[in-house]
A and B are shown apart, each in its own frame.
Chain A
Amino acid sequence: MKYAYYPGCSLESTAREYDLSAQAVCQSLGIELKEMHDWSCCGASSGHSTNYMLSHALAARNLAIAEKEGLDIAVACPACFLRLKHTRHAMMNSDELKAQMAESIGSRCEATSDISHLLDIVCNKVGIDTVKTKVTKPLSRLKVASYYGCFLVRPPKVVTFDDPENPQSMDILMDSLGADAVDWSGKVDCCGGSLALTRRDIVIKLVGELMNVAKGAGAEAIVTACPLCQANLDSRQGKDTLPVFYFTELMGLAMGLQGPKSWFKKHLVNPSGLLKSHGLL
């Protein structure tokens, strides 16, 4: 199972622990992640918020690279995932856009490479049964709230992954690791995304509401698949904090891989107390 790996800019900086844990987990599961040659930024929210054609061209450049490499794409960051998905979806429905993209990026791209998020690959291509065989240190019923955020599951026609209102993939994955995924209503509620740098008041309110719902459902930690969600929840939750993990970090921990301690050092909310109380660290 080989993919052109598109980590995205965050995984080289604010979400370094996501990149390290994702690579370790994929290697252990036999997923070969070949980093896409000379990939560039997808433009994120700022691309589509300011220039429609630019946002597609930034994504199309990366689609063209994967196409030349003859590989489907594995994406770690849901924001990048949705940008690439949107552009592929739009190009497949418009020959005019394909022609415009060829002009903008200087090479023809047919948008043939499929795009999957790592969570989809782990849950549906590798499969939960295979994941279970790799678990050596079950997560001792650690109560986690699976937080999908926006871009993994919306809009359903474009992302074609899981349910847009009540997704289950990460919950099933967490249960298979020996954790206890709590049922809660915040799964796909927005954290405010990039407003964290411009309208902190909005993000603090949204994150506060999410944390209250998670705590009310009995969660001891949040688990996410998105660098932006992780950063916002980790940094803006105020007092009485809950640790916020990437799903790959908890997988690495349950699979007994090398590295979790160094990944967790990068968190703002230190998770070691909670993990020690469950005998996991």
Chain B
Amino acid sequence: MSLRRWGINTIEFIDQPGSQTADSAFSQKVRELSRSDLDRCYQCLTCSLGCPVAFAMDYRPNQVMRMVQLGQKQKLLESSTIWICAGCETCVTRCPNEVNILGVMDTLREMALREKVEGKEKVIPTFHQTFLYPVEKLGKQYELGMLLLLKLRTKDFFSDLGLGMKMFARRKLKLFPSKIKASKEMKTIFEKTRGV
């Protein structure tokens, strides 16, 4: 397999001194929250070579590991990479040193949201929050409502309209939502985990 296939022409490491102040508290926090010993990463590139979406990332997974070690907080929280990661766990499965790479990505995403960092990728975080809205209110997903809300929030009204109509015609999208009986429990779950 050639490195070029994944858009990796040169192996570059983002550790030029002086480019950004190292935030060691950030590094430590990511280590703790991701429950991953990411210092075990020795830059073998297995994660990036197997990553199906590396071609669309601004920093590849191996670079993210190095950037966390070097405390490059701002670059990471603004990166498109943390949102492009599809969570497929190929990297986690193949990492020879058992670094929980997806755990690191999830931690960075959660940090970016909590700290309200405006990154390069705006639609994906909006999607995730929109996806969870019906879950909080109803206890279940309500695709049609979620899709309409996503369109309102992203002001993108026309993409996939034809596909949506086809799905609707095949009754793949329910007109009305269903709600679980204990929907109050969902409210509690969301409230209790919001601040943790």
- Where the two chains meet, the residues of A that have a C-beta atom closer than 8 Å to any C-beta of B are 9-10, 12-16, 38-41, 43-54, 57-58, 61, 100, 103-106, 150-151, 154-156, 164, 188-190, 192-195, 197-202, 205-206, 235, 265-268
Nearest Cβ on chain B to A212's Cβ, whole angstroms: 14
B131–A46 touching, CB < 8 Å: yes
B196–A100 touching, CB < 8 Å: yes
Interface window among B20-28, B68-76, B168-176: B168-176
A267 to B189, CA, bound (A): 36
A selection of 30 A-B contacts at a CB cut-off of 8 Å is A9-B143, A41-B135, A41-B139, A44-B141, A46-B132, A47-B132, A48-B106, A49-B87, A49-B106, A50-B110, A52-B106, A58-B189, A100-B196, A104-B189, A106-B185, A154-B89, A155-B89, A156-B93, A190-B53, A190-B88, A193-B86, A195-B53, A195-B84, A195-B86, A197-B127, A197-B147, A200-B160, A201-B56, A235-B166, A267-B170
CB interface residues, B 54-80, toward A, < 8 Å: 55-56
CB interface residues, B 139-153, toward A, < 8 Å: 139-141, 143, 147, 150
B53–A49 touching, CB < 8 Å: no
Residues 77-107 of chain B: 1 if any A CB is under 8 Å from the residue's CB, otherwise 0? 0000000101111101100000000000011
A235–B192 touching, CB < 8 Å: no
Residues of A within 8 A of B33 (CB): 52
B124 closest partner in A (C-beta): A198
Residues of B within 8 A of A151 (CB): 89
- Given A100-B196, A202-B84, A164 contacting B127 (CB threshold 8 A): no
A56 closest partner in B (C-beta): B193
A255 to B104, CA, bound (A): 45
Residues of A within 8 A of B123 (CB): 198-199
A159 closest partner in B (C-beta): B89
B195 closest partner in A (C-beta): A53
B166–A268 touching, CB < 8 Å: yes
B130 closest partner in A (C-beta): A46
Residues of A within 8 A of B196 (CB): 53, 100
B127–A190 touching, CB < 8 Å: no
Contact of A51 among B56, B127, B182, B193 (CB under 8 A): B193
- Given A57-B192, A199-B124, A49 contacting B135 (CB threshold 8 A): no
B189–A190 touching, CB < 8 Å: no
Nearest Cβ on chain A to B33's Cβ, whole angstroms: 7
